[in-house]
Amino acid sequence: MSAAAPPVRGKQGPDTDIRARPVLVRPARPRRPGARLVFLAVTAVVVLAFWSVDIDWSQLAGFPANLLRYLGLMFLPPDLSTLPSAFEATVLSVQMAWLGTVLGIVISLPLSFLATAGVGPAWVRWPLRGLFSLLRAVPEVVIAVLILSVTGLTAFTGALAIAVGSVGTLGKWGYEAMEGAERGPSEAVRAAGGSTAQMLRWGMWPSVQPEVLAFWLYRFEINVRASAILGLIGAGGIGKVLADNVQFRIWDAVGTLLIVVVVVTVVIDLVSGALRRKIITGAWR
């Protein structure tokens, strides 16, 4: 038997064993020149865009005082005599949003099925997805301006613009929800000899129905706000009444209109949110 190695003398004192510790080497910091170039390019674009905007900084200092002045003109006190007409115009905007949402649902639902992987062929699926992306890229105001030449300045114009914009959003949400659904029920229908229509009805739709219904309600909330904006270009509703009163500087009437818009929008959001929670979770809370 070989003799044991003599103890190593170290800082801890004589005859004390010091175990050899591994040398820790700090890893080199990863270099990402591409990410840095992209960051610098985006920063340069933001800075150039900021300096190219013609901003009168002297007016910025007086903005709080002017804001308080106009708020006083609108709400101290508001013109409550315009409350019936304001409520009537708001109801028209909600009707516009509802009609546009229903039209968007009717058009987007079958297109969502065709755009779903495993349902529609590739030569149909990819053009539909491109169409959805195109419709989402165009604001409802631009769509309404394009439709004006055919339908004129009516509430139906706003409803059609909302419907077209809804198709792009609901179509994308729809096929993404269907592609994320469980495959078990659909495969079971296929194994039992069911057709594609039967697979969609009994295999896929029950799995995605709560999520899709919640999407529809959420889109209706968005369309209520969009209908007020479309009224600013003459499509009717509360937006048109608001634009007319602002143009003629009837600020107390503007205050009443804003109060009605805020109250109606908040009520719709609360009711829609409760319905969405009920659909998804089965409870009202």
Q: Which of these, 106, 52, 110, lies nearest to 219 by C-alpha position?
A: 106
Q: Give 27-64 pLDDT, tens digit per residue.
A: 777 777 777 888 888 888 888 877 777 777 677 777 78
**Segment 67-80 mean pLDDT:** 82
- pLDDT at residue 129 greater than cutoff 70: yes
Residue ranges of alpha helices (H) inside 81-179 are: 83-114, 122-137, 140-151, 155-179
Query: What pLDDT is attached to residue 7?
Result: 52
Query: What pLDDT is attached to residue 21?
Result: 66
Q: Give 236-269 pLDDT, tens digit per residue.
A: 778 888 888 888 888 888 888 888 888 888 888 8
Q: Which of these, 276, 260, 274, lies nearest to 93 by C-alpha position?
A: 260
Q: Give 132-188 pLDDT, tens digit per residue.
A: 999 988 888 888 888 887 777 778 888 888 999 899 999 998 888 888 877 777 778
- With residue 239 as reference, give the H or E element that holds it: helix 238-247
- The single residue listed with the structure tokens 């039967």 is 198
CA separation for the pair 8, 26 (Å, rounded): 28
Query: What domains can be seen in the chain, in order of their start residue?
Result: 83-281 (1.10.3720.10)
Contact 252, 77 (CB under 8 A): yes
Q: 135 by DSSP, 3-state: which?
A: helix
Query: What pLDDT is attached to residue 26?
Result: 74
Copy the structure tokens of residue 16.
């004390």
Q: How many CB atoms lie within 10 A of CB 145?
A: 15
Per the DSSP assignment, residues forming a β-bridge with 10 are 13
Q: Give 178-232 pLDDT, tens digit per residue.
A: 888 777 777 787 788 777 777 877 877 888 888 888 888 889 988 888 888 887 7
Backbone CA torsion sign across 107, 113, 117, 119: negative
